[in-house]
Amino acid sequence: MWPDRRLLDLFKTEFPIVLAPMAGFMDAELVIAAAQGGALGSLPCALLSPDKAREQINIVRQRVSAPINLNFFCHEPVDADPKREAAWRQRLTPYYRELGLDPAAPVSAANRAPFDAAFCEVVEELKPEIVSFHFGLPDPSLLRRVKAAGCIVMSSATIVKEAIWLEENGADVIIAQGAEAGGHRGMFLTENIAEQPGTFALVPQVVDAVKVPVIAAGGIADGRGIAAAFALGASAVQIGTAYLRCPESRVIAPVRVALAQAHDNSTVITNVMTGRPARGVANRVMREVGPISPDAPAFPNAATGLAPLKAAAEKLGKVDFTNLWAGQAVRMGREMPAAELTRALAGAALARFAQMAG
């Protein structure tokens, strides 16, 4: 049986497994499939309008009667910096030329909206059981409204200091995101990626530092990883990369190929794709311009200059400019329906616990 029931009892799911929210890579379909398998499904809203988020939640609600986690980014929006963005476009000009694109053509701004009053109204209206944030927590007045709607609040910590801050500022659950994790680093009290601890070191130190339950995230992709997370004191796991190749995800064909071909050393942390550090399979622009570039405009504006390149290259079946967000365990991802994968992960973890108990 599960050695820790704190989050099973809080979430009321069959398994203490959270399907990670993965903005741009999934929608209601993956949430539904993972929930049908017994996991907590997370719906990423960072790339959605409030209306689109409402529509997606309603699809989930119509198809499953399981709890749902709505996920938002809560970064501080920055003012446009036309000089920096022009320099970035200049840096990317050889790629524009190569693809036959005009580097001076206007491009609409990258659309990653932080949690705001309009999203808060969606939460108040649809009352998801759980709301999770990345990059800290929203403004206290908005957070109070989320809590008043009865939602359990979770957020990612990448260092112990962030975990303590989140607990002190109202998080009910901490997601300890180790450096192995795919996607954006949830970091908000540090900017130094070289100092980011891995999951094995981070989870027990966060567990010791806070009273609220802790979810381990980063590099967990099979029963062994889940058992290890519980051994380190976690009360649940959050898994993203391992679900990417499920048929219910929204991963486009050339990205599926890149993920299937990736190895343990294929991913890097880069700021080139969006302006914030994130882990993904290294592609051409990450290799040639980054992986870390001081020229990348602040989040999410680095993505603006890349958008035309991404679209043109994808038409040619290339992922040279496409976010290939994935964690260090990408090789362990399986092409399997998400409900089946969830049950397989839970079954393998339970078998490990039994084996370890001797």
Could you tell me the CA-to-CA distances from 85 to 35, 60, 184, 275 in Å, in that order? 41, 38, 21, 11
Query: Which CB atom, from 206 or from 242, has the smaller least distance to ligand FMN?
Result: 242
Nearest Cα residue to 338 out of 30, 42, 41: 30
CB of 100 to ligand FMN, least distance (A): 29
CB proximity list for 120: less than 8 A, separation 6 or greater: 138, 142, 145, 146
Looking at beta carbons only, is 44 or 290 nearer to ligand FMN?
A: 44
Q: Select from 82, 71, 150, 143 the least CA-distant residue to 112.
A: 71
Least separation in angstroms between CB 118 and ligand FMN: 18
Give the shortest CB-358-to-ligand FMN separation in angstroms. 29
Q: Which is nearer to ligand FMN, 238 or 342 (CB)?
A: 238
Comparing CB distances to ligand FMN, the nearer of 326 and 339 is: 326
- Nearest distance, CB of residue 62 and ligand FMN, angstroms: 23
Q: How many CB atoms lie within 10 A of CB 287?
A: 13
CA 205 to chain centre: 22
Nearer to ligand FMN, 32 or 216 (CB): 216
Q: What is the nearest approach in angstroms of ligand FMN to the Cβ of residue 78? A: 19
Q: Per this entry, what is the length of the chain?
A: 358
Question: Residue 251 Cβ, how far from ligand FMN at the closest point, in Å?
Answer: 8
Q: Which two tokens stand for residue 120?
A: 């808060």
Sign of the dihedral through C-alpha 80, 183, 252, 285: positive
Shortest Å, Cβ 160 to ligand FMN: 17
User: Which residues contribute to the site for ligand FMN (CB under 6 A)?
Assistant: 20-23, 25, 44, 46, 71, 134, 156, 177, 180-183, 217-220, 238-242, 325-327, 329
Residue 175's SS3 state is strand
**What does 32-79 look like in DSSP terms, one character per residue?**
HHHHHTTSBEEEE-TTS-HHHHHHHHHHHHHH--S-EEEEEE-PPP--
Backbone φ, ψ for residue 203 (5° rounding): -60, -55
337 to 58, 123, 134, 298: CA distances (angstroms)? 22, 29, 27, 37
Minimum separation from the CB atom of position 183 to ligand FMN (A): 2
Tokens at 315, concatenated: 């038409």
Q: How far apart are CA 31 and CA 42, in angstroms?
A: 6
Using the minimum distance from each CB to ligand FMN, give the nearer residue, 20 or 312: 20
**Rg (Cα) of the chain, in Å, rounded?**
20
Rounded to whole angstroms, how far apart are CA atoms 109 and 305?
9
Q: Among residues 357, 343, 358, which one has the least CA distance to residue 223?
A: 343
Tell me whether residue 175 or residue 298 sits nearer to ligand FMN (CB atom).
175
Residue 220 or 226 with smaller CB distance to ligand FMN? 220
* Smallest gap from residue 46 Cβ to ligand FMN (A): 5
Judged by beta carbon, residue 89 or residue 245, the one nearer ligand FMN is 245
Pick between residue 99 and residue 336 the one whose CB is nearest to ligand FMN. 336
Nearest approach, Cβ of 82 to ligand FMN (angstroms)? Answer: 28
